[in-house]
Structures are given as structure tokens and as C-alpha cells.
Structure 1
Amino acid sequence: MKKTLVLLAMAGAASVHAEPVTVYGQVNVSAQSSDEGEGRFSELKSNSSRFGLKGDYELEHGLKLVYQLEWAVDLADVSGGENITSRNQYVGLAGSFGEVRLGRHDTALKDAQGKIDLFSDYEADVKALWKGEVRASDSITYYTPTHKGFGLHLTYIMEDAADAEDAFSASLYYGDENLKNSNFYAAVSVDAEVNGYDTVRLQAQGKVSGVKLGAILHSQENIVTGAEQDGWLVSAAYPLGKTELKAQYQTLEDDKAISLGADYKAGKNTTLFAWYSSFNLDTPTPDRDYLAVGIKHKF
């Protein structure tokens, strides 16, 4: 039933002429050799492959309706009703006041990461060690207009139950997270009671002679136990013709992760990639490492 509804939605979008709709997505699959402490094995991984619909519609009084419906799809492991799952899905209004979105959305802290995490969607995604990578349901998202490069992103997450607590996330940022309109990006972000944690991050990324350098300072506190943990991340990407070489190092107290990789631009929207990630964990969880090659195509 879920698949049928999605296909009907996309078919309906394609038939709309008065209101243009953008259909977009990416397929990202890798062949992977994994060792998670019990011996090495091979597997195929679908790395946050996704598709969606988005658009906007001009209203009166300078207002604009905005919306997005996005789903994750697993090309490798999961089939049946679990194959398609929800990602950012919202409707909202934009105008001179900024933009308000109602629905399911990445929190301000998660969104503020920008492109600093060079291994996002893979095993070494920052969420492997850190809390704060939250896509919040029952949320209201607000983006202020930018002024001299500065902007504010706010998230309010409703309680959704009488015995629950609401939560907040906020980020003050400067520059362009894609490093296209500026050579520098920075943000300070906080979560308050988001999924059981208070979190603070300071992050920055810059481009020097074509080389991208990034860093994040991270602190998280478990609201129930009061346990505090700190960590940091550094990343670097070096262009070499159609190839980009990448390296990243992340910590959380004594837990560490190091990743090395290379992306080859095989076409305008197609990337061939290879990467290696290793985790050294100071917990009962065994150390683990991964080696992968794959292909990513955006449409």
C-alpha cells in the first residue's frame, strides 16, 4: 500500500501543469567488506538512497507556499513494506519574514553540519559516534532572512503526548555551507532535550587554494544520567582533476574513527567512490572496520 501511494503521488505530480513540481533523488550503492568484531563478511549497502518531490507556489501578499515530500529507499537489503521510509516532509510559507516549515525536518543542529562531514551517509557518518543527528517529527522549523551572511535556524519539537516534554534546537550560521558563494562557513548550534540529549556544537569549514578544510567541536549530555561526553572532528578534501581525495578523523572521549576515501566524477551527476573507515572504541563494543567501493547518481 505504501509503495502504491508513493507511485500515485509521483504520477500525479508529473501530470500537474499549472504548478511545476521537481522530482529529484539519488541512488547510492556500495559493495562493502565489513568486520564488526566477529569476522569479516561482504555485503551490499544502500547509502541513504532517496527520492522526492518539491515545489513552491506563489500566493498573494508576497507569500509563497513551499513543500517537500522525501523518502528513503533501500536498494540492497530491505524489501516489502520496510523498503520505503520517510525523510524530510513538510509544507510551509516563505516571504520577507523568512521561511516557516511544518512537518518532519532535520533539526537546526543537524542541518548546521553543512558539508563538513565528508563521509555522511556511510559507516563513518558522524552519527556513528555522536548524538544530535535528529530528523524531528511534529516540528516547526524557521529560517530567518540572512543579513550580511548571517542567518538563524530554529526548530521547535512538540511534545505529542501529555507526559512528554517539548524540545528545541537552534543554530546561528555565517556564510554558504556549500562553499560556492563564499570560501568560509561557520555555525554554533544547540539542542535542548532533543531525543534525551542536550548538545552543543561549534563548526567551521573553509576553502584554501581549492582544498576544503573542516572542523567540529561537539559536546553532549544525557538528560537522564547526566553523563557528559566531548569530541571533535577534522576533515580535508583535496581536488585532483576529476578525483577528490578525502580524509576525516572523529573522536568522542576515547572512541575514535578515521576514514580515507576518493571520489571520481564520472559524469555531471555520477560519482564513483572508494573509502576505508576504522573505529577504535573504548567500550565493550568491539573495534570495527569497513572497506567499500560504489556508485552514486543524482537525478
Structure 2
Amino acid sequence: MSIKRTLIAAALAATVPAVATAAPVSFYGKLNVEAAFNDYDTDSIDGEDLGLSETEIRSNSSRVGVKGDLELNSDVTAFYTVEYEVNIDEEDKDNFEARNQFVGIKGNFGAISLGRQDTMLKKSQGKVDVFSDYAGDLAKYGLQGENRGTETLTYMLPKMGLFSAGVTYLAEGSEGQLDEDGERTDGFSIAAMYGDKSYKKAPFYAAIAYDTDIDEQDSVIRGSIGGKVAGIKLGALYQQQEAYGADSKDGFLVSAAYDINAWTLKTQYVDMEDTADGFSVGADYRFAKTTKAFAYYTDRSYDNELNSKSGGFAGIGLEHKF
């Protein structure tokens, strides 16, 4: 019996490292939860000034996922990602929502992937939105283009130094792909990027992107730029969007962030023509590379959208990555 156990243990010890070397898999995620206080200027039905307010415990795009790659031969590597958002604040126990989920191959020819993915325009903003996923997120002001297609094919050109570019094709069956007549339509999202969005390989980042026929938008053009100057991370984004049957609108974002030891101080202003504008201020305190506390305040005002809530939004919370 002991001999058999020894042989089994030896077989497992020999097999597991081989599998791990052949197909490394990473399990990852983050939990971002805040105690939030919202002081609304208008109610959510007819815009009447009621001075509504509420407190809540809110999850900000918490998520879990697995990703990995496998070298098929000396020229081609397969890769995949399966990621879910965990809506911790939902009453429903089935609180998982699909995020990026795709499979692809890459090599000297570039990278091709299929599945549910963020569009190239969404990816192109880099990290200029320093309040992404919070109440100050640029999408909260009506800037279009933050899309994740359900049926997509993305091709990334081979990287050339600090330059990269790609295109995302959204099939007719992808969720929300309707033209101005309500008929199914396909769409495209393209982007070109230069620099490093994390400011590690280079102290600057710039991107230009274009969407057509995605999420009921005839077109969206977005330019993003960022840089690190004297320790201050500066970002800006300009966008022109045109919905089906509507005039084009302009929007922009400017942001700044500054690290002081374990602290990060940040601020941001967003304005979307005839829709909304507002500012955010906040601070993060990093206990470790994986864990931080944060606090912020956002003031957001809508111009013509009576079914959206204007007011002040404050939050304090914790984020842990794994």
C-alpha cells in the first residue's frame, strides 16, 4: 500500500509542474465596495426639485476572472480570458454579470480574439479617467463609447515599439446593434495608441479612436492624451459623438493625480454638451500594492435629461485586488 501511495505521489509531482508550464492560468479579481451618500437635486421621474437623498453600500465594478495562455508552437500562442462582475450590492443572490470573455491566438502576425470584449475605442482612453467606475466616471455624463460587445472579433497589429493599433468588429447579433430604422446592423471600432498608459515605459500616452454604428451612435470620435510632469499625472480627453437622427455633440474631460508617499490625490472635470457637467475630487491611501482605502466627492449636474439624477455623490470605501 505504501509503495502504491509513493508511486501515485511521484506521478502527481511529475505531472502538475508539466501542466503548469504548458498552460499557466491566473486567477484574479478585485473587490471595491463603498459606503455612499447621494444628495439628489431632482427626482428620477419628472425633474421636480424634491431634495431626495439616500445612503447605500455600493459595489464599484467588483470582479473575478481567470486568464491564461498556451504556446501552441514557436510561432503561435493561444490566450483566453473569462471574467465576471460581482454585484455585491444586489439583493438577488445570482449577482454575477458577464464582462470580458474571449479566446484568441497571437504571434508575429499580431493578435486575433473572438467573444465578448471591450471595443477599441473604450480601451483607447487608457487611464485618463481617474474616477472610472465611480460616480464621476465619464459615462455618467453622457459620453458615449464605453461599450463591451457581446459578439465581437478584434484584431491587434503587431506592436512597433510604443505604437499599437487595432480594430473591433461587432456582429449584427451583438446586443444593442440596431440602426436608426431599428434593423440589425454591424459596427466597427478602431484605435491607434502611442506611449504607455501607466507611464512606466514612457512618461506620456496618446490615442485616437473612432466608432461607427455601435450602440445606436452613427459615429463617435475620441482623442485621449496623458503625461507625467514633475510627478503629476495629467490627462485630457476630447470627444465628438452623433446619435442616429441627432446633431453631433462635443464633450471633454480633464484630470490630474499626484502621489505623496502612500497617498494619491486626484481631481477631474467632465462636460458633455447639452447633457451634463461636473467635477470630482478624491484621495486614495494605499496600505499595500493590493489594498487601498479611498474617499471622494462628485458634483454632477444634468442639463436636459430629466430622467437622470443630478446632485452630490460622496463615498468612502476599500478596494482589494488579488
TM-score, normalized by the shorter chain, greater than 0.5: yes
Does 2:191 match 1:171? Answer: yes
Instruction: Name 2:35's counterpart in structure 1.
Output: 31
The offset of 1:148, in angstroms, is: 3.5
Q: Which moved more, 1:32-41 or 1:63-72?
A: 32-41
CA distance in 1 between counterparts of 2:317 and 2:298 reads 14
Give, as a single letter, the amino acid of the residue that structure 1 aligns with 2:29: G
SS of corresponding position for 1:80: coil
Instruction: Name 1:49's counterpart in structure 2.
Output: 62
The offset of 1:202, in angstroms, is: 0.8
SS of corresponding position for 2:158: coil
Within 5 Å, which residues of 2 pair with 1:220-231?
Answer: 220-223=241-244, 225-231=245-251
Contact 1:63 1:95 survives alignment (8 Å): yes
Instruction: Name 1:181's counterpart in structure 2.
Output: 201
Contact 1:108 1:171 survives alignment (8 Å): yes
CA distance in 2 between counterparts of 1:175 and 1:32 reads 36
The offset of 1:194, in angstroms, is: 0.6
Instruction: Name 2:265's counterpart in structure 1.
Output: 245
Q: Which moved more, 1:162-171 or 1:50-59?
A: 162-171
Instruction: Name 1:275's counterpart in structure 2.
Output: 296
Q: Which moved more, 1:58-67 or 1:281-290?
A: 281-290
SS of corresponding position for 1:24: strand
Give, as a single letter, the amino acid of the residue that structure 2 aligns with 1:289: G
The offset of 1:287, in angstroms, is: 2.2
Percent identical: 40
Within 5 Å, which residues of 2 pair with 1:54-69?
Answer: 54-69=67-82
Q: Which runs of 4+ in 1 moved over 4 A?
A: none
CA distance in 1 between counterparts of 2:166 and 2:202 reads 19
Q: Which moved more, 1:143-152 or 1:237-246?
A: 143-152
Instruction: Name 2:16's counterpart in structure 1.
Output: none
Of 231, 242, 248, the residue aligned with 1:210 is 231
Number of equivalent positions: 282
Of 271, 291, 298, the residue aligned with 2:314 is 291
Give, as a single letter, the amino acid of the residue that structure 2 aligns with 1:218: Q
CA distance in 1 between counterparts of 2:206 and 2:226 reads 6
Within 5 Å, which residues of 2 pair with 1:104-253?
Answer: 104-129=116-141, 130-160=143-173, 163-197=183-217, 198-223=219-244, 225-253=245-273
CA distance in 2 between counterparts of 1:269 and 1:116 reads 21
Of 240, 261, 279, the residue aligned with 2:282 is 261
The offset of 1:226, in angstroms, is: 2.4
Which is bigger in relative contact order (C-alpha 8 A, separation at least 6)?
2
Instruction: Name 2:26's counterpart in structure 1.
Output: 22
* Structure 2 stretches lacking a partner, 5+ long: 1-18, 43-50
CA distance in 1 between counterparts of 2:303 and 2:246 reads 20
The offset of 1:79, in angstroms, is: 2.5
CA distance in 2 between counterparts of 1:287 and 1:132 reads 22
CA distance in 1 between counterparts of 2:129 and 2:56 reads 24
CA distance in 2 between counterparts of 1:84 and 1:148 reads 38
Q: Deviations over 1:140-164 (max 9, x none)?
A: 0111112232111210011128941
Normalising by the residue count of structure 2, what TM-score does the alignment of the two structures yield? 0.85
Give, as a single letter, the amino acid of the residue that structure 2 aligns with 1:116: V
SS of corresponding position for 2:223: strand
Q: Deviations over 1:17-71 (max 9, x none)?
A: 4522100000000000012334111101100000000000001251000000000
Normalising by the residue count of structure 1, what TM-score does the alignment of the two structures yield? 0.91
The offset of 1:78, in angstroms, is: 3.6
Contact 1:44 1:77 survives alignment (8 Å): no
RMSD across aligned positions (CA): 1.5
Indicate how the Cα distance of structure 1 residues 78 and 95 shifts in structure 2: closer, same or farther if over 3 A, else same.
farther
